[in-house]
Amino acid sequence: MSDILFETVGRTGLVTLNRPKALNALTEPMMAALGEALDEWARDDRVERVAVRGDGPKAFCAGGDIRSVYERRAGSIDFFATEYRTNHRIATFPKPYVALIHGVCMGGGVGLSAHGPIRVANETLTFAMPETAIGLFPDVGATHLLSRMEDEAGMWLGLTGHRIKLAEAVAAGYVTHPVEGSLDAVLDRVAHARTLEPALDEMTVETDPMPAETRKVMAKAFGAPTLAAVMERLADMSADDEFAKVAFDEMALRSPTSMAVTFEQIRRAADLDPAGVLEMDFAIVSRILDGHDLYEGIRAVLIDKDNAPKWDPAEIDKVEKSAVAAHFVTGPHGRLGLGETKSAGGRGAVHAS
Catalytic residue among 13, 63, 103, 108: 108
Does the active-site annotation cover 139? Answer: yes
Q: How many whole angstroms from its chain centre is CA 25?
A: 13
Phi, psi (5° rounding) for residue 139?
-100, -145
Does the active-site annotation cover 181? Answer: no
Q: In degrees, to the nearest 5, what angle opens at C-alpha 177 toward C-alphas 172 and 182?
A: 120
Which CA distances in Å does 345 have to 68, 141, 267?
32, 16, 10
Q: In degrees, to the nearest 5, what angle opens at C-alpha 174 toward C-alphas 34 and 15?
A: 20
Catalytic residue among 65, 83, 139, 168: 139
CA dihedral defined by 302, 310, 80, 280, rounded to 10 degrees? 150
Catalytic residue among 64, 107, 154, 276: 64
Q: How many whole angstroms from its chain centre is CA 298?
A: 18
Does the active-site annotation cover 304? Answer: no
Which CA distances in Å does 278 have to 8, 21, 111, 144, 311?
29, 29, 10, 9, 26
Contact (Cβ atoms closer than 8 angstroms) between residue 333 and residue 286 = yes
Catalytic residue among 48, 65, 83, 131: 131
4-9/12-17 β-pairing: antiparallel
Cis peptide upstream of residue 130 (ω within 30 degrees of 0) = no
Contact (Cβ atoms closer than 8 angstroms) between residue 13 and residue 51 = yes
Does the active-site annotation cover 331? Answer: no
Q: Which residues are the active-site residues?
A: 64, 108, 131, 139
